[in-house]
Amino acid sequence: MLSLEAFGQRIRALRQERQLSQQQLAERIYVSRKTVGNWEAGSRLPDITMVSRLADCLDVEICDLIDKLNEGESRIYVIAVEQSAAALREELRLLRETLPNAEVAGFRDGGEALRFAGSHPVSAAFLDADEDGAFSLGEKLLSCRSRTNLIYTAAGDEHAAKAMKIHASGYIRKPLSGEAVRREDSDLRRPVPGIV
């Protein structure tokens, strides 16, 4: 179900934060002031081209605007990517136990994780740094969802510098523990209210 009202309120709040009038915003994205007013009132919805222009003009990601269309916008999504089925099962069990307010999804394939992130606002991604392609996957996740907190897990510290180079939010040595996950949660680069 769509929440046009929440979307309109989001546009209004972003416009006002940038100290723009409806007319100024309209001129910047080549629509009428009335059109902006209809969007903000929640009576009309912009097409995808206009959403893109709005995002550029208001300096936010398209995903941040589109996510407001979902009434379930308060959901917190966390993903784990691990190639070993047994390790993934254990990691999912631990994350679900430690992060009871999050919807936790697990993937053995990075492409599936990316597809999921393309349609869900993923707040945190736990990636196995010891796996081939983990850092490439992290960069792709950030290009899709720049507000995703990347938390790398590894048997040792040999990947820590690389994780920090791509601005990961955290690094946990295996085996994962609830305490280590809670510690990382308290230090997230992009905090997620209510995740624990």
pLDDT in tens, 10-52: 899 889 999 999 999 999 998 999 999 999 988 888 888 888 8
Q: Does residue 136 form part of some domain?
A: yes
Provide the edge-to-edge strand list for the sheet that holds 149-154: 102-107, 76-81, 122-128, 149-154, 170-173
CATH number of the domain where residue 18 is located: 1.10.260.40
pLDDT for position 120: 83
Angstrom distance (rounded) from CA 26 to CA 153:
46
Which residue positions in the chain have pLDDT lower than 70? 1-3, 67-74, 193-194, 196
For residues 57 and 29, the answer to whether their CB atoms sit within 8 Å is yes
Are 94 and 129 members of one domain? yes
Are 101 and 169 members of one domain? yes
Q: Does residue 85 form part of some domain?
A: yes
The range of the structural domain enclosing residue 169 comes to 75-186
Query: What is the number of structural domains in the chain?
Result: 2
Question: Which of 51, 71, 91 is the C-terminal boundary of a domain?
Answer: 71
Q: Does residue 193 form part of some domain?
A: no
Q: Residue 112 corresponds to which tokens in the numbers above?
A: 């599936």
Instruction: Quote the pTM value.
Output: 0.65
Question: Which of 49, 71, 93 is the C-terminal boundary of a domain?
Answer: 71
Are 30 and 107 members of one domain? no
Are 94 and 9 members of one domain? no
Q: Measuring CA to CA, which residue among 89, 123, 129, 159 is closest to residue 137?
A: 129
Report whether the peptide linkage leading into residue 175 is cis, meaning its omega lies within 30 degrees of zero: yes
